[in-house]
Structure 1
Amino acid sequence: MSAGGEAFLDSHGTYIQPVALTAHTALLVVDMQIHDARPDGAFNVAMERLQPGSMAYFNDRTERVVVPAIGRLLQAWRTRDRPVVHLRLGSQYPDYRDFPPNYRAWIKAIEDASGVREIFYAGSPDFQIRPELAPVDGEWVVDKLTYGAFNSSNLDRVARAAGFTGFVVAGISTNCCVESTVRGAAERGYECVVVDEATADYDESAHLASLRALAVNHARVVRSVDEVLAAVDSGTPM
């Protein structure tokens, strides 16, 4: 986070109540799929064809900061035998017939303009989660059709049945699928912690704006994995 972003969170703080990271707090990993969480993924390739250089900041942050951070969170949750949920965005059909009409028109326009096909098709290899962050036995994988998981998947049903009280949230992109999902979680009574270094957006200003909005209204926002792990091990709410 830039100095400006740190100053905002330090000076404004939050009125969101502290969150205790218990055995009922799931790690929620949002859309770390090949199609848009890796530089050679279909969405990244399409956008670079349309707007050369437009993905440079996002890809650098994802590779250098976000993937290692999520790897650490996954290791921590797994070694402590705590619940992990992976989200995936994609359509069961190559023509996106199960997407809402506006989403379908958006992605088809990108495909037509770039020449890259089946970007978000679940039958494409790029639909899968990056191998280094892939689910292991016993972890939940929830597929969704829109940015916000609570709007287009069975995530709420999964969470209620498993007894989750909240989520530590990581993934991409901050102001889109992460923010939409966190807003949906908060409005359903789940406590949320969003980890700055485990999230990325297509430019820094969008990333910071999303974190600011979430910190004021929906979630605790913390900068580092270290802060999360310290709270887990100490039992101190954050």
Structure 2
Amino acid sequence: MNQSEKTSAAFEDLSSTIPSVDLTDRRATALVVVDVQYSDAAPDRGWVKACEAVEPGSMRYYLERLEQTTLPAIRQLLGAFRAAGMPVVHISTGSAYRDMRDCPPRFRDWTHRLERAAGIDDMWWTGNPDYAFRKEVAPMEGETVIRKTTQGAFNGSEIQNVLDRAGIRNLVFAGVVTSCCVETTARDAADRGFGCMLVSDACADCIPAMHDAAMMNFGLYFGQVARSAEEVVRAIGVGERRKNHDVSTR
């Protein structure tokens, strides 16, 4: 093991000092799926299309991870939370206005610069069909949907009030992009007193280093990191609950 690997392992050991998230507290624990929309989580559409137009090949890794790893993991989490009757919250990024007047100037200006460079319009406008959630992980009836106008949900939506009124105290995060909207929202949630967990394979970033750095940093300072959706499913105990139910009804 080289020095870099030793340092990394030491930081992972330090993460054990972060308080754990009680996933068995089903009424107070919600799955939060961040920004899995066509606008930023689909090939040849929205943000991905814009980035590829400016720098061809720049989104190849992101799209491969999204399709092969992240979307299947999110579907697994959704299945488990729904089976357990646990709350699910879907977050979207979108402006009610084509000129993005309800978004922060920095976010608005960055978007317009990228749109001009790529030759596309209305990347985050709610009137764009790309604003919709990807159908594979779209909200079901009764699940909470929150629109944000900033990259972190707590700065640009009513998520705090929604969670407080529902009695939610623990949050399990999945979605895109790991080091941007997912991490920002999760960090802000931790600072507000929520128990937080990032699910590594249920998140995607543009390059592995960005994803890995976000996970390591979050696990050291803000909350727990689960390596896989399978770990979360086991902790919730959905499979065991189903097994016991099947035995008791024979």
| TM-based fold match above 0.5 | yes
With normalisation by structure 2, the TM-score equals: 0.89
Shift of 1:79: 1.1
Between the aligned partners of 1:14 and 1:48, the Cα distance in structure 2 is 39
Greater than 4 Å deviation, 4+ residue runs: 4-12
- 1:220–1:186 CA distance, 2 compared to 1 (3 A): same
**In structure 2, what residue type is equivalent to 1:18?**
S
Which structure has the greater CA radius of gyration? Answer: 2
The equivalent of 1:45 in structure 2 is: 49
The equivalent of 1:25 in structure 2 is: 29
| 1:213 equivalent in alignment to 2:217 | yes
**In structure 1, what residue type is equivalent to 2:22?**
A
Instruction: Tell whether the 8 Å contact from 2:22 to 2:170 is kept in structure 1 after alignment.
Output: no
| 1:198 equivalent in alignment to 2:202 | yes
With normalisation by structure 1, the TM-score equals: 0.93
Count of aligned residue pairs for this structure pair: 231
Which residue, out of 54, 61, 76, partners 1:72?
76
Q: Deviations over 1:147-173 (max 9, x none)?
A: 110011000000000000111100011
Query: Secondary structure at the residue paired with 1:82?
Result: coil
Between the aligned partners of 2:100 and 2:55, the Cα distance in structure 1 is 24
Of all paired residues, the percent bearing the same amino acid is 41
**In structure 2, what residue type is equivalent to 1:41?**
R
Which residue, out of 157, 160, 168, partners 1:156?
160
Shift of 1:14: 3.1
Instruction: Tell whether the 8 Å contact from 2:40 to 2:46 is kept in structure 1 after alignment.
Output: yes
The equivalent of 1:103 in structure 2 is: 107
Shift of 1:219: 1.0
The alignment's C-alpha RMSD in Å is: 1.6
Residues 1-238 of structure 1 mapped to structure 2, 5 A cutoff = 7=9, 10-21=12-23, 22-23=25-26, 24-233=28-237
**In structure 2, what residue type is equivalent to 1:110?**
L
Instruction: Tell whether the 8 Å contact from 2:103 to 2:150 is kept in structure 1 after alignment.
Output: yes
Unaligned segments of structure 1, at least 5 residues = none
Unaligned segments of structure 2, at least 5 residues = 239-250
The equivalent of 2:247 in structure 1 is: none
Between the aligned partners of 1:8 and 1:172, the Cα distance in structure 2 is 28
Shift of 1:101: 0.8
